Chain A
Amino acid sequence: MPALFEYDENREAASAAKVRALEALLIKKGVLGSDAVDAVLRHFETVAGPFNGARIVARAWLDSDYKRRLLDDTPKAIAELHFPGMDGAEGEHMKAVANSESVHNLVICTQCSCYPWPVLGLPPYWYKDPVFRARGVREPRAVLREFGVPISAKKEVKVWDSSAQIRWFVIPERPAHSEHLTEAQLAALVTPEAMMGVALVPAPTAA
């Protein structure tokens, strides 16, 4: 093995040992509960994250009445799904917009970095980038093209600026050849980027 990698492995082991020792020491001192790490990370891993948004989108694809309720009163329709993480202030101001044959929606945030956490999880690195924020408003079609989402000139592009008052998210178009999929299988196709409008949901690969 090249020396460089050998060094990295040692360094990795040293970091792991240090963290293990620190955790044991803090538990012994009584300042850290033995399940404190899991408890705090559970929030990111199971309570608030893109898995919630994906479930909402899959339900909307399967149930047109639900989709209508979601567009009419987003927080109320989300509450129907009984997510444990939706009781916070971040969840109360969400608004869904739907992509269609005639409209493509793009969500940005020009002022700060307002983001619907409970449904999309952590925003990507570029979300706070001032260049992305400025160009998203000025030339959304060019930005989308760079993301690999060319939008036909016939289709309208709507840009939604998230704020502390309203946090937008996109219901992407349901991909072709997905009629046979279950709600869970559909949810697995939905990415955070698709729910921001910078990606499309690809057709499922043949099983």
Chain B
Amino acid sequence: MFTRFEEYAATQMLGQPDSPPRSEGKLLFREEWQRTVFGMALALSKEGHFEWEDFRQQLISAIATWENEACGGDITWDYYEHYTIALIAILEQCGMLDPGELERQMTPEDASK
């Protein structure tokens, strides 16, 4: 029984395909955006915008898609790239984000990257 959402959420992922990178007992973020996207999904689920388990299933599915396509030449693994895909998918699924809305939000400079 977990009394804290943060611990419940991270524990559900441990030992599973969606287990986050970590080192010495701490979450491992190479870049600030990775920390941001990890925290966003936790914060939104904690607020009740979606079930953590539903987000996890999106993440597991994003990772499985990558695994199935990995022979196509894309050998680069980036956990948080899949995490971002999963977060966008769950937000679209629960109607918090319209398809294409994120692209419109991005600056022309960002979008060209």
How far apart sit A191 and B33, CA to CA, in the bound complex (Å)?
Answer: 27
Question: Are B14 and A24 interface neighbours, CB within 8 A?
Answer: no
How far apart sit A41 and B76, CA to CA, in the bound complex (Å)?
Answer: 27
The reply on A19 being an interface residue by CB < 8 A is: yes
Question: Are B113 and A10 interface neighbours, CB within 8 A?
Answer: yes
Question: Are B26 and A29 interface neighbours, CB within 8 A?
Answer: no
From B15, B44, B80, B107, residue with most partner A Cβ within 10 Å: B15
Question: Are A50 and B26 interface neighbours, CB within 8 A?
Answer: yes
- On chain A, the residues within 8 Å of B84 by CB distance are 15, 18-19, 22
Known A-B contacts A22-B40, A49-B25; the reply to A16 vs B2 at CB < 8 A is no
The reply on B64 being an interface residue by CB < 8 A is: no
Question: Are A21 and B44 interface neighbours, CB within 8 A?
Answer: no
The reply on B11 being an interface residue by CB < 8 A is: yes
| Interface magnitude class on chain A | 35 or more
B18 to chain A, nearest CB (A): 13
For window 33-47 of A, CB contacts with B under 8 Å fall at 33, 36-41, 43-45
- On chain A, the residues within 8 Å of B101 by CB distance are 25
Question: Are A24 and B105 interface neighbours, CB within 8 A?
Answer: yes
A86 to chain B, nearest CB (A): 11
Question: Are B102 and A21 interface neighbours, CB within 8 A?
Answer: yes
How far apart sit A18 and B1, CA to CA, in the bound complex (Å)?
Answer: 35
- On chain A, the residues within 8 Å of B76 by CB distance are 8, 11
Question: Which A positions have Cβ atoms within 8 angstroms of B?
Answer: 8, 10-26, 29, 31-33, 36-41, 43-45, 48-50, 88-90, 113, 117, 120-125, 127-129, 164, 191-192
User: 10 other contacts beyond A18-B84, A31-B44, A45-B26, with CB at 8 A cut-off?
Assistant: A12-B31, A13-B113, A14-B113, A15-B33, A19-B40, A37-B43, A40-B39, A88-B7, A90-B3, A125-B15
Question: Which B positions have Cβ atoms within 8 angstroms of A?
Answer: 1-4, 6-7, 10-11, 14-15, 19-20, 22, 24-27, 31-33, 35-40, 42-44, 46-47, 49, 76, 78, 80-81, 84, 87-88, 91, 96-97, 101-102, 105-107, 110-111, 113
A-B contact pairs, 22 of them (CB 8 A): A13-B113, A14-B113, A15-B80, A18-B110, A19-B33, A19-B36, A21-B106, A22-B40, A23-B40, A26-B96, A31-B49, A39-B43, A40-B6, A40-B42, A43-B4, A44-B10, A121-B25, A122-B22, A123-B14, A124-B22, A125-B22, A129-B15
